Structure 1
Amino acid sequence: MSSCFNVEKPEKPKNLITEDNMVNILVDMAIMSSAKGVNKSKIEKNGIVPDQYIYDKNNTDSLTFAESNAYYAYDIKKYDIIYNRVKDSLTAIREGYKEILEKEKAEKKIKDSIKNAKAKIEKGKNLNNKQLKSLNATKLIPKKITD
């Protein structure tokens, strides 16, 4: 039973990936994993090999990552700190995208209201005077069009 607890600490790899770079790689892996779940066929169609793409992007390779990951994983507290940074980074990215989405929705709402106003104006040009006065009374058509 005591042999189960006799895990030796891995040697520090010669090319140990820094904690900051480990966070970046793990964030990229989480994002890629989500992307594969949503658009796997699109990723494959574009010839992207997810893991290789991440290693290339972060100037590393699978062996260096595996050795560094094993080294950091041995120290649970350090690994927990790394994963909390990953979680914080993913949360920040998600919040950034939420802000972008909200801005896009607001812009679309403005564009749609402009489009609707133009359509009402165009509609107003094709109405007779009685219809125009009725729309003008409801403030849908600017007064200068009815003059």
Structure 2
Amino acid sequence: MILKRLLLVVGIIFMALACTNLKGPEKPKKLISKDKMVDILIDARLLTSANSKNKMIMRDSGLDMNNYVFKKHNIDSLQFALSNSYYSYYVDEYEEIYTKLTDSLTKLKEVLKEQEAKEWKEQTKREADSLAAVLKEKNKTVDSLNVNPIDKSVFKKPNGERLKKNNGEIDEEKLLEESIQEIEGLVEPISDKGFQ
């Protein structure tokens, strides 16, 4: 019974000593500022979200993707790990960093969409201008050949006589009607009823 009480007292003492370390990690000597952490996390997110083709291009150009972000921001991996551990323990501060990160990425996405839309408009305008220039050049070529417009007064009826002008205009409906009558006399319509 005395042994049980002794074990209980020793257990409570160990628990009390263990709980004194719950105040969180110590602030690192080279703590990265919140704004710089946002910039680092943005670069890391962009680098990891690159598609495989872009990653291959980066590797082929000699970019060390594992250390690029650290070199760019002039930090080392230990400094980042300690700062990240410190901020992640204090949830309010880490949430502030995360909020800035998501806002920045959202704004960056909007800017990229606007830029893509602008480039698309410019490309479409260049293509339309190019097409217009080709058509204009084609029209100049046709005009330079001195091609006269068709004189509708020389149209002939299917039987060979010339069409008469009606107040200076050709009766196109009459021409079409007469042409159809002429063709109907030459070709018999085919019915699909006999093939059933």
Aligned to 1:121: 136
How big is the shift at 1:112? 1.0
* Aligned mates of 1:71, 1:13 — CA distance in 2: 8
Range that drifts further, 121-130 or 71-80:
121-130
Aligned to 1:10: 25
Q: Which runs of 5+ in 2 are unaligned?
A: 1-14, 151-196
Aligned amino acid, residue 109 of structure 2 = R
Aligned residue pairs total: 129
Aligned to 2:126: 111
| Residues 25 and 58, structure 1, Cα contact 8 Å, conserved in 2 | yes
- Alignment pair present for 1:90 and 2:105: yes
Residue 47 of structure 1: SS of its match in structure 2? coil
- Alignment pair present for 1:130 and 2:130: no
Aligned amino acid, residue 78 of structure 2 = L
Aligned to 1:33: 48
TM-score, normalised by the number of residues in structure 2:
0.60
| Residues 29 and 51, structure 1, Cα contact 8 Å, conserved in 2 | no
Residue 24 of structure 2: SS of its match in structure 1? coil
1:42-62 deviation line (CA, Å, top 9, x unaligned): 121111112311111111110
Aligned Cα root-mean-square deviation (Å)? 2.2
Aligned to 2:117: 102
Aligned amino acid, residue 128 of structure 2 = S
Aligned amino acid, residue 61 of structure 1 = D
Aligned to 1:19: 34
The structure-2 alpha-carbon separation of the partners of 1:108 and 1:36, relative to structure 1 and needing over 3 Å to count, comes to closer
Aligned to 1:77: 92
Residue 74 of structure 2: SS of its match in structure 1? coil
1:25-58 deviation line (CA, Å, top 9, x unaligned): 0000000001254522112111111231111111
Range that drifts further, 99-108 or 63-72:
99-108
* Aligned mates of 2:80, 2:110 — CA distance in 1: 28
| Residues 13 and 68, structure 1, Cα contact 8 Å, conserved in 2 | yes
Range that drifts further, 75-84 or 20-29:
75-84
Q: Which has the higher contact order (CA 8 A, sep 6+)?
A: 1
Q: Which runs of 5+ in 1 are unaligned?
A: 132-147
Aligned amino acid, residue 78 of structure 1 = E
Structure with a larger share of its residues in helix: 1
Aligned amino acid, residue 42 of structure 1 = I
TM-score, normalised by the number of residues in structure 1:
0.79
| Residues 72 and 78, structure 1, Cα contact 8 Å, conserved in 2 | yes
